[in-house]
Amino acid sequence: MKLKKIIKRNYKSIVKRGLISSTYKEYGFIEKLNEEVEELKQAIFDKNKDNRNEELADVILVCLNFAKHFNIDIEKELIDKIKINFKR
């Protein structure tokens, strides 16, 4: 599944569940990201590989939701950032 399709599908599911609305602000995403990072850290601390993988996916999905919500072409931004990293 292509990244844009994953982003669209996930965002739609989160909106449908009422977890994101049109008035959702950046800080709400940062709070959710912090929550998911803490869960990832706990899974790593507990040495729970299955849960670690799921929590890592949650962290990434929150970031993708942020991008979708604020109309950021994250695929382009990732490509541009990789180019910058190669030049360093």
**Domain architecture of the chain: domains with CATH:** 3-87 (1.10.287.1080)
H-helix or E-strand spanning residue 14: helix 3-16
Please report the pLDDT score of residue 76 as a whole number.
94
- Whether pTM > 0.85 for this model: the answer is yes
Please report the pLDDT score of residue 1 as a whole number.
67
Give the tens place of pLDDT for each residue, 43-88. Answer: 999 998 889 999 999 999 999 999 999 999 999 999 999 999 999 8
Torsion of CA 10, 16, 20, 21, to 10 degrees: 130
Taking 3-state DSSP, the helix, strand and coil percentages for the chain, each rounded to the nearest 5, stand at: 80, 0, 20
